[in-house]
Structure 1
Amino acid sequence: MKGPSRSANIVLIAGILLVAVNLRPALASVGPLIEDIRQTTGLSNSQLGLLTTLPLIAFGVISTLTPLFTRRFGIGGTLLGAMALLALGAAMRAIAWLPALYLGTLFVGVAIAFGNVLLPSLTKRNFASNSGVITSLYSSAMALGASLAAGISVPLANGLQLGWRGALGIWAIPAVVAFVVWMPQLSRLTRSEPNRSFTKAMHHLGGSKLAWHVALFMGLQSLTFYVVLAWLPAILINWGYDATYSGWMLSLSQAMGIVGSMIIPTVAGRKADQRGIVWFLAVVETIGLAGLLMDPGGRIALWVSLIGFVSGGSFGLALLFIVLRAKDSESATELSGMAQSIGYILAATGPTLFGGLFDLTGRWTYSLLFLFVIVVFKLWMGAKAGTPGTLH
């Protein structure tokens, strides 16, 4: 059977990148606006942490169930519905009603969960021979969306007088664009019949050490990413920097994540063994965290750049592990669902725990020390996941 044409693959890649760009702004736009949200609503740090934790909980629940949706609606239909739900959730957060803020955030989380799970599956299915490059492209697009949202949230809220609600709600617009552009894929992405039942697949993955290593690496790198996304601006504001500068430092971190997302999966995809790359990322992250902790009044841009590079690289590597360790597209969807479900449930504890440590101690020192512990466990799981092999 003749495969897809070159033009069809280009259109598919463009659609994947547009979906990917939409998978972070609704989350990355919250951190720089935390102080504005706090002043308007009077929410505590722990309650504000829920704005990041709720999507992660949704990731954890929906990721496992995603294969059920793809069996019913196909990958194309499921992603189309995800973009519609993302637009709805983002728009709801512009409503001046506190429950709408949290419900819209939950909808956003559900929508993003589908995208998170299905992009590795599409890569395995349509671009297996170029998995490293395609993973680099769409993980970079995700980091680009996060960087853009982090950088312009405060200017949108204050400079354009949209307020924090308008700055959150505006991200419904690119989601609508992605919905429209993705529609042609409904007819182009044929639906394949599953080779095994959902229950049997999950039971098999649950007994695989390799699947657990991939899942825990995904979770630990996500925990760090969402802690930084939620709290870096608040940390810098607490240290005396203004909100605009703090927002741009988060944007810089996310921009360096683009660099990491471009480089690490591409290099890792050319290797059978990724353990050396895992060690490299752990060393660079340790340097960045140590600098941020011990030099809070100095080279902030350098430290957040290192942290951002590792964050983007680790995320891209986690996605690549899913592609490399799965034997086919169906198992990639299942492994992606398991890895992101378990991983994001673990990651969901991060922002609330990180903020809670500050509430308890009144200092960010202990919260940052917590991230050093995460580096050690991430290195351990990453070294296991980076060992050559595939799921049996």
Structure 2
Amino acid sequence: MNSQKSMTSLLLAIFLIALNLRPAVTSIGPLLETIKKDLHLSNSEVSLLTAVPVICMGLFAPLAVHWLNKFGQKRGISLLIGVIGILTLVRVWLHDYVSLLITAFVIGVAIAIIGPIISSLIKEKFPTRMASAIGIYSLGMGAGATLSAGLTGVLYVWVGERWEFALAFWSTLALLAYLVWFVAMKPQHERAVATEQQQATFRSPWTNRRAWLILLFFGFQASLFFSLTTWLASAASELGFSVIEAGSVISVLTVSQILANICIPLLLEKFPNRSFWIYFSLFIGTIGVVLLITGNVVLIWPASILLGFTLGGLFPLALLLPLDETTDAKEANAWTAMVQTGGFIMGGLVPLAIGILYDFSGTHQMTYYVLLVLIVGMFVVTLLLNKKALHVQG
């Protein structure tokens, strides 16, 4: 009974930690145009506020191995959640572009290190229920994205159109996560990882062809997610939507994403064919992008629903793929760090490229075609992956 209660509290802690891994990025989206005008920025410059933390999530993911070795699970994640909370809070006093970029950079580094550690923790603590645990983890990220994307515009209006206050509000999530994580990770639950143990005997994922394919898949889905959360509100504004209305479009996207975050992992427990759910998610996403390409104002709503479902389905699948390939927590940590290194760098660069294209063309039509290319890329990579590995049990 105590063990079951302990595992439940640990899952709650994982959910609350995940809740903090997106607001620093997704809260910018609804206020993109506002910040751009207030600080006199170009589209390329303002898109760096979301691109920088995402690129950091990739560049600094390899540090997860060394961070876990030095601080362990409990203290290591406690420190990182503290960094995210404090730097999100100090945004309330920031009204310049450089300071926002610095906070975005450091928060991105913290998120980069947390990701692989949580994945390895799930591999270690929930070896027979990985799909469900990953589902809770991805649900937390989806919920964080939904809350921040949907409510930041409302907060902006509520606090007297002060975007600094609207961004800083999300630091409250970090305090809650810190307290629950500290209680859930009792000393006996944390396994120290010695330096010699960290030097595992498994083959480096950097020399493994399958690891590179999974990295590409993760990169394409991360690019799709961050491109949509960064630019969909702007695309809605281009069609005449107000700040709150554009935020509502993102809310629809992320609510749909949360529903998929809940449904797909549950379905994976009964029907563990990874490739089927990937193809299904990509098919739904293709329809959503085609609806956006039409330029019809009304169709942006069903497009947001379909694309949200795509994002919610692809993300837990992308997290599961490296865990399926590994045999223990240390190997899972190494694979996840590699996959997220390249994947998040792609996820940061593509929205930045969209900003440059937007500056050049003055319209989001090119944005929609970039989204379509990302979906096709995932389809091709899935075809190249060995079907046997995509049929494993969750």
CA shift, 1:241, in A, is 1.4
CA contact (8 A) 1:58 1:109 kept: yes
Q: 2:23 aligns with which of 22, 25, 28?
A: 25
CA distance 1:99–1:186, change in 2 (3 Å)? farther
More deviation, 381-390/185-194: 381-390
CA distance 1:17–1:112, change in 2 (3 Å)? same
Q: 2:350 aligns to what SS in structure 1?
A: helix
User: Which amino acid letter does the alignment assign opposite residue 193 of structure 2?
Assistant: S
User: Which amino acid letter does the alignment assign opposite residue 11 of structure 2?
Assistant: I
- Equivalent positions of 1:278-357 (< 5 A) are 278-357=278-357
CA distance 1:161–1:200, change in 2 (3 Å)? farther
Counterparts of 1:130 and 1:88, CA distance in 2: 34
Q: Which residue of 2 aligns with 1:156?
A: 155
Unaligned ranges ≥5, structure 2: none
Counterparts of 2:175 and 2:309, CA distance in 1: 30
Counterparts of 1:227 and 1:83, CA distance in 2: 25
User: Which amino acid letter does the alignment assign opposite residue 66 of structure 2?
Assistant: L
Q: Which residue of 2 aligns with 1:366?
A: 366
Counterparts of 2:22 and 2:310, CA distance in 1: 17
More deviation, 191-200/60-69: 191-200
Counterparts of 1:97 and 1:115, CA distance in 2: 28
Counterparts of 2:295 and 2:37, CA distance in 1: 29
Q: Which residue of 2 aligns with 1:175?
A: 174
1:61-113 Cα distance to aligned partner (Å, 9 max, x none): 22111111101111222211110110122123222233221111112211222
Counterparts of 2:272 and 2:26, CA distance in 1: 33
Unaligned ranges ≥5, structure 1: none
**RMSD over aligned Cα, in angstroms?**
2.1
Counterparts of 1:272 and 1:209, CA distance in 2: 23
CA contact (8 A) 2:55 2:349 kept: no
CA distance 1:27–1:186, change in 2 (3 Å)? farther
Counterparts of 2:386 and 2:224, CA distance in 1: 19
Q: Which residue of 2 aligns with 1:139?
A: 138
Instruction: Give every structure 1 segment of 4 or more consecutive aligned residues whose post-TM-superposition deviation is greater than 6 Å.
Output: none
Counterparts of 1:65 and 1:350, CA distance in 2: 23
More deviation, 188-197/126-135: 188-197
Counterparts of 1:15 and 1:352, CA distance in 2: 33
How many corresponding residue pairs? Answer: 388
CA distance 1:162–1:8, change in 2 (3 Å)? farther
TM-score by length of 2: 0.93
Q: Which residue of 1 aligns with 2:193?
A: 192
Q: Which residue of 2 aligns with 1:80?
A: 78
Q: Which residue of 2 aligns with 1:64?
A: 62
CA distance 1:269–1:350, change in 2 (3 Å)? farther
TM-score by length of 1: 0.94
Q: Which residue of 2 aligns with 1:260?
A: 260
Counterparts of 2:305 and 2:196, CA distance in 1: 44
CA shift, 1:271, in A, is 4.7
- Equivalent positions of 1:5-20 (< 5 A) are 5-20=3-18
User: Which amino acid letter does the alignment assign opposite residue 193 of structure 1?
Assistant: A
